[in-house]
Amino acid sequence: MGLLATLLIFGVSLSLASAERPMRRSLVFPMETDNSYVELVPQKDLDMGAFTLCMRVATELAEGNREIILFAYRTLYHDELNVWREADGRYGLYLSGDGVLFHLPELNTFQTHLCLTWDSKLGMAAFHVDGKRSIRKVYKPGHKVQKGGKVILGQDPDSFLKDFDSKQSFIGEITDVNMWDYVLSDAMIEALHVGKRMPRGNIFDWETIELIVNGNVKVITEEL
Amino acid sequence: MGLLATLLIFGVSLSLASAERPMRRSLVFPMETDNSYVELVPQKDLDMGAFTLCMRVATELAEGNREIILFAYRTLYHDELNVWREADGRYGLYLSGDGVLFHLPELNTFQTHLCLTWDSKLGMAAFHVDGKRSIRKVYKPGHKVQKGGKVILGQDPDSFLKDFDSKQSFIGEITDVNMWDYVLSDAMIEALHVGKRMPRGNIFDWETIELIVNGNVKVITEEL
Amino acid sequence: MGLLATLLIFGVSLSLASAERPMRRSLVFPMETDNSYVELVPQKDLDMGAFTLCMRVATELAEGNREIILFAYRTLYHDELNVWREADGRYGLYLSGDGVLFHLPELNTFQTHLCLTWDSKLGMAAFHVDGKRSIRKVYKPGHKVQKGGKVILGQDPDSFLKDFDSKQSFIGEITDVNMWDYVLSDAMIEALHVGKRMPRGNIFDWETIELIVNGNVKVITEEL
């Protein structure tokens, strides 16, 4: 009887806890600048033979035809891992050199869930847009992403965290940036898209990530 | 036994009651005029440091490239809060002066659920189209909407409820106009979009609102 | 107590079993070549007065305007059963001679479930795109598909498994290719589209099919 009561109370408190809506930070980049960006502090080195990178992005820039930087990881001398929306509307992944390009639906003012997977073994790279995977493309098998750099959102550094070009800057909103040093399955990425919050990123976990804001970027906390 | 029968009958009558479909008024603006409009009588002053404004709109005008007035709140000397579909297809919010513009999907002959939120604190403004939020834009932080004016649908008054331009008038249907003097969460606006009728607007509540019709506007009552 | 323990263990093992996700092979054609293709070994002769052919296809080639070979069954002297995406964007079925063309949605970087049915009796041919059937067109009533050839994906053989043209080759991903020597109902094809794995193809069954890979084609095994 005592045990049953305990179990029931435990059950109730669990339900109450799960009824509280989770909160999430969102980064608002309100205008074109050459000095506004957010540095993401990783939980461990970006020393990777494979990765999954996800984020939710909304921008009205894709109406035009300029480059838009979506993610930049730069070490002292190299652009280690950059993600672009190109001037011609395609999407590009660049791992230290020439990139691989994909034809995806345009970003727009509503939130798009964008993921990117790459594995060194076969060199398979693919985007996932709102839970749907693009074709896989073979890109840099055997390559490795090097540690020791910095990840920023909002600008493309042409040298180590300097030399930003406002015409490549991001305007709009970015949230829920997570990174894993392995490839998530299509089904897991679809689950993340519709709101599942597991598995948490082991390189970047947006729920606990430390953000260093520079310039004109607003950090909004919103209910999910 | 008698009690059980009573309960069953009671249960049946409840079900019948809930089977009655709610009714809603809809405003039909059948043609281009410079004198047809509907005044909305608010429940309290539009004395606001934040707001949410929602409506359901259908129009074929967006096929062309003229301005379309969607909502006008004017005091004696100022356009306090105007919402436009611009000639170039963008959507604009104007709080007493220059506006902020958004790239949204075009309105069309079917009903679009359109909401707009703004908060004085950070100046965050966003549209919600059929439950999906646009990017947030920073617009007039610290500003306040002033009381003492009148809200009309169908025309843009260039002076206090006069000087209408037929080429800016609204043609089509508007219904379910609600306004709150605070910002509703994304989840609440998504719930309104799919038909939830809470929370009711505290500035305008379409279920009880007093409408003053001028010129050629039809008020239709429809089942939901 | 012993029984309960047994049931619990049984329950756990069942859950574990159902947690195992089925795997599926996918063919990645990474680049334009005139020598990369995959031969599909059938379970029985393609000696058919009717058929259903299904596959899941993703390609970015449909952005351009060149021919794309989707399926080629050739006997020594004839193209017995070819499926094309034409240069003008239409889709064509060719049974040994002139083809029949359909206007379908464009293929894209996400997976499209494409089926094709044909019956000799009335000559009814139709495509099914993501579970939705096109109009039926009358094509070669009384005709019969002849046995004795080979089925390949990735190239169009202008002679028996030779004379490939890189500008007709397939680039992208193909998986879940199944063929029946009868016409499946619209409802069955819709069920296949959303993931039902019955009925298994009696000409080609992707779960057990023998694949002979030539040139630069990657065979990926993915979780469903």
pLDDT, tens digit (0-9, with 9 covering 90-100), for A135-147? 999 999 999 999 9
Nearest CB to A109; choose among B135, B138, B187: B135
Q: What is the mean pLDDT of residues C127-134?
A: 98
Q: Which residues of A touch C59 (CB under 8 A)?
A: 135
pLDDT of residue B159: 87
Q: What is the mean pLDDT of residues A8-14?
A: 38
Interchain touch B–A (≥3 Cβ pairs closer than 8 Å):
yes
Name every residue whose Cβ is closer than 8 Å to that of residue A55 and which is 6 or more positions away in sequence.
Answer: A70, A71, A113, A114, A115, A174, A175, A176, A177, A178
Q: Which residues of A touch B132 (CB under 8 A)?
A: 110-111
- Spatial separation of the C-alpha atoms in residues B1 and B6, rounded to whole Å: 9
Contact check, Cβ <8 Å, A134/C109: yes
Nearest CB to A109; choose among B102, B122, B185: B102
Interchain touch C–A (≥3 Cβ pairs closer than 8 Å):
yes
DSSP code of C13? H
DSSP string, A2-67: HHHHHHHHHHHHHHHHHHSPPEEEEEEE-S--SS-EEEEE-SS---BSEEEEEEEEE-SGGGS-S-
Contact check, Cβ <8 Å, C110/A133: yes
Contact check, Cβ <8 Å, C21/A187: yes
| Backbone torsions φ then ψ of C8, nearest 5 degrees | -60, -45
Contact check, Cβ <8 Å, A137/C30: yes
pLDDT at residue B12 above 90? Answer: no
Interface test with B, best of A56, A60, A106, A109 (most B CBs within 10 A): A109
| pLDDT tens per residue, range B43-93 | 999 999 999 999 999 999 988 899 999 999 999 989 999 999 999 999 999
pLDDT at residue A5 above 70? Answer: no
ipTM: 0.85
pLDDT band at B160 (very low <50, low <70, confident <90, very high): confident
pTM for the predicted model, two decimal places: 0.87
pLDDT of residue C20: 67
- Spatial separation of the C-alpha atoms in residues A173 and B120, rounded to whole Å: 19
- Spatial separation of the C-alpha atoms in residues C212 and A160, rounded to whole Å: 49
Of A22-31, B154-163, B212-221, C34-43, where does mean pLDDT reach its minimum? B154-163
Interchain touch C–B (≥3 Cβ pairs closer than 8 Å):
no
Q: Considering only CA atoms, give the Rg of chain C.
A: 19
pLDDT at residue C18 above 70? Answer: no
Closest residue in A to B125 (Cα) is A30
pLDDT band at B2 (very low <50, low <70, confident <90, very high): very low
Provide the CA B24 distance to its chain's centre, in angstroms: 14
Q: Which CATH class for the A23-223 domain?
A: mainly beta
pLDDT band at A85 (very low <50, low <70, confident <90, very high): very high
pLDDT at residue C13 above 70? Answer: no
pLDDT at residue B7 above 50? Answer: no
- Chain B closest CA to A223's CA: distance in Å? 7
pLDDT of residue C5: 40
Q: What is the mean pLDDT of residues C171-175?
A: 98
Average pLDDT, chain B: 91
Instruction: Work out the end-to-end distance of chain B between its first and last CA atoms, rounded to an integer number of angstroms.
Output: 39
- Which residues face C117 on adjacent strands? C52, C126
Nearest CB to B103; choose among A26, A28, A63: A63
| Helix and strand totals (H; E) in chain B | 2, 15
Interface test with A, best of B103, B113, B114, B135 (most A CBs within 10 A): B135
pLDDT of residue C19: 54
| pLDDT tens per residue, range A184-202 | 999 999 999 999 999 999 9
pLDDT of residue B192: 98
B175: left (phi over 0), alpha (psi -120 to 50) or beta: beta
pLDDT of residue B3: 47
Average pLDDT, chain C: 91
Domain boundaries, chain A: 23-223
Interface test with A, best of C60, C220, C221 (most A CBs within 10 A): C60
Percent of chain B at pLDDT exceeding 70: 91
Q: Per 3-state DSSP, what percentage of chain B is helix, strand, and coil (rounded to 5)? A: 15, 40, 45
Beta strands B37-41 and B124-129 are unpaired
